[in-house]
Amino acid sequence: MTLYDRAQEDRLSRRDLHSIKISGVPFRNVAAALTLSELVLQGEHDEHPHAPSDVGGVNMLEWLGLVVGEMPYLISSARTVDDINWRSTAPNAAEMHVALIDALAQQLATSAALLHHALMAHHRAHPALGGEDKAIEDVEFLSHALVEDHPPLWRRSELMQGGYVTALAAAVQASGRLCDARVDRANGVAGPAPDVAAGVVADALARALATLLGHARLNARDREIVQARAS
């Protein structure tokens, strides 16, 4: 789905979004469970060993490299949550489940914070893209589409991995094209304008961040469900 899928946007805008009930327990609508700013703030609290001290002077590719470095930890944590036996009646099972869910929540937040820096740095470098507010709007819209009607307590690590890795790969590939376009323009060689490649990079980064936000919201809902069942 592109960032400007009008049919999907119209369908979402018509949808009546209320809190849902699972096993007789009321829950907030998934999109309201966690905001992007809350997710990013949670991730900022995690001290990354390779995070630059001069945040404002770091370009998008540097942040993207840190994001890629977090992938093994994120995917491993997501698969661990997938393997939880939700029906377990063992002593302290709910507490252990919540601990694993919280570990995944922190991994999602850490990656989201780094990716948010990458997206903001890219938009600052390319004002024609519409500014940082436009980027956040795109992330929110895509995230909402991702989590719509997704079942709770469901195996979803492969879904997250597929969407997230594909989006990051697209961002890396488009970044290469952007560099080539800049070199061609500097050398007077005809070719695609750098702004075109910059737009593709922005779209890919927004999709990746939306994937993290969507799964963080689903993960937060799972946590509420586990706690409600244990009470």
- Residue 17 pLDDT greater than 60, yes or no: no
Query: pTM for the full model?
Result: 0.80
Task: Supply the pLDDT for residue 10.
Answer: 41
Q: Model confidence at 151, in pLDDT bands (50, 70, 90)?
A: low
Residue 208: inside a domain, yes or no?
Answer: yes
Residue 13: inside a domain, yes or no?
Answer: no
- Residue 111 pLDDT greater than 90, yes or no: yes
- The amino acid at residue 215 is H
Burial of 150 (0-12, 13-18, 19+ CB in 10 A): middle
- Residue 52 pLDDT greater than 70, yes or no: no
Beta-bridge mates of residue 20: 27
Q: Model confidence at 30, in pLDDT bands (50, 70, 90)?
A: low
76 vs 134: which has the higher pLDDT = 76
Name the residue range of residue 172's domain. 25-230
Range name among 16-25, 29-38, 47-56 with the lowest pLDDT average = 16-25
Residue 197: inside a domain, yes or no?
Answer: yes
Task: Supply the pLDDT for residue 49.
Answer: 65
Torsion of CA 200, 203, 206, 207, to 10 degrees: -110
Task: Supply the pLDDT for residue 34.
Answer: 85
Q: How far apart are CA 183 and CA 21, in angstroms?
A: 55
- The number of distinct structural domains making up the chain is 1
67 vs 28: which has the higher pLDDT = 67
Residue 198: inside a domain, yes or no?
Answer: yes
What is the per-residue pLDDT across 197-216, written as a single tens digit (0 to 9) for each?
899 999 999 999 999 999 99
Contact at 8 Å (CB) between 48 and 114?
yes
Residue 218: inside a domain, yes or no?
Answer: yes
Contact at 8 Å (CB) between 220 and 36?
no
Mean per-residue pLDDT for 100-110?
95
- Residue 64 pLDDT greater than 60, yes or no: yes
Mean per-residue pLDDT for 160-187?
88
Residue 5: inside a domain, yes or no?
Answer: no
Residue 1: inside a domain, yes or no?
Answer: no
Task: Supply the pLDDT for residue 206.
Answer: 94
Residue 67: inside a domain, yes or no?
Answer: yes
Token digits for 198? 């910059």
Contact at 8 Å (CB) between 64 and 168?
yes
- Residue 32 pLDDT greater than 90, yes or no: no
Task: Supply the pLDDT for residue 53.
Answer: 61
221 vs 145: which has the higher pLDDT = 221
Task: Supply the pLDDT for residue 63.
Answer: 92
Q: CA gyration radius for the chain?
A: 19
